[in-house]
Chains A and B, each alone.
Chain A
Amino acid sequence: MLDPVILLPAAINGLTMGAVYALVALGLTLIYGVLHIINFAHGSLLMVGLYGAFFLYQAGGIDPYLSLVLLVPALFGLGYILQWGVIGRASHGSDQNVLLVTLGVSIVIENLALYFFTGDTRTIEAPYAFEMVDIAVARVPLPRLVAFGAALAIAALLWLLMAKTDLGRAIRAVAKERQGARLVGIDVDHIFAMSFGIGTACVGAAAALLLPMFYVSPHVGHVFVLVAFTVVVLGGMGSFIGALLGGLIIGVTESLGGLIFGETFGQLAIFLIFIAILLFRPTGFFGGRPS
Chain B
Amino acid sequence: MTMRQGLAGGLVLVLALMAPLAIQSDFWLGFLITILLFAAMGMAWNILGGYAGQFSFGHAAFFGTGAYATSVLHIALGLNPWLGLLVAAAAGGTMGLLIGYLSFRYGLRGSYFALITLAFAEVLRILANTAGFTGGGVGLYLPLNIGVANMQFAGKAGYYYVALGLALASILIAWRLERSRLGAWLAAIRENEDAARALGVDTFACKLAAIGISGAMTGVGGWFYAHYYLYIDPEIAYGPGVSVEILLVAIVGGLGTVLGPLLGSVALHAAGELAQRLMGDTPGLNLIFYGVLLVVMVRLMPDGLAGLVRRWMRPAGGTQRA
Contacts and interface: CB of A to CB of B under 8 A. Distances in A.
Interface of A: 37-38, 86, 89-92, 95-97, 99-101, 103-108, 110-112, 114-115, 119, 218, 222, 226, 229, 233, 264, 267-268, 271-272, 274-275, 278-280, 282, 290-291
B295 A101 contact: yes
Given A38-B111, A282-B112, 18 more contacts: A38-B114, A91-B298, A92-B302, A97-B302, A99-B114, A100-B247, A100-B294, A104-B294, A107-B288, A108-B288, A108-B291, A111-B284, A111-B288, A112-B284, A114-B283, A115-B285, A271-B123, A278-B106
Interface residues of B, number: 40
B288 A112 contact: yes
Interface of B: 55, 57, 102-103, 106, 108, 110-112, 114-116, 118-120, 122-123, 126-127, 129-130, 240, 244, 247, 251, 282-285, 287-288, 290-295, 298-299, 302
Contacts, number: 119
B244 A99 contact: no
Contacts of B122: 226, 271
Q: Which of B102, B251, B292, B294 has the most CB of A within 10 A?
A: B294
B315 to A, nearest CB: 25
B110 A279 contact: no
B123 A95 contact: no
A249 to B, nearest CB: 17
B284 A96 contact: no
Contacts of A92: 298, 302
The secondary structure that dominates the B interface is helix
Contacts of B112: 278, 282, 290
**What are the 5 closest A-B residue pairs judged by CB atoms, nearest first?**
A107-B291, A104-B294, A114-B284, A108-B291, A111-B284
26 contacts: A37-B111, A90-B299, A96-B110, A99-B57, A100-B55, A101-B299, A104-B293, A106-B291, A107-B244, A107-B294, A108-B291, A108-B292, A110-B284, A110-B287, A111-B287, A112-B284, A115-B282, A218-B284, A268-B127, A271-B122, A271-B126, A274-B119, A275-B102, A278-B106, A279-B116, A280-B106
A103 B294 contact: yes
A272 B127 CA distance: 12
B119 A101 contact: no
A110 to B, nearest CB: 8
The secondary structure that dominates the A interface is helix
A161 B292 CA distance: 35
Contacts of B298: 90-92, 97, 100-101, 104
Contact of A107 (B103, B126, B282, B290): B290
B118 A101 contact: no
A95 B119 contact: no
B240 A111 contact: no
Contacts of A106: 291
A279 B287 contact: no
A226 B118 contact: yes
B291 A111 contact: yes
Q: Which of B120, B293, B302 has the most CB of A within 10 A?
A: B302
A209 B226 CA distance: 43
Q: Which of B57, B282, B291 has the most CB of A within 10 A?
A: B291
A236 to B, nearest CB: 13
A216 to B, nearest CB: 16
Nearest to B121: A271
Q: Which of A104, A110, A222, A275 has the most CB of B within 10 A?
A: A104
Contacts of B118: 226
B115 A229 contact: yes
B271 to A, nearest CB: 13
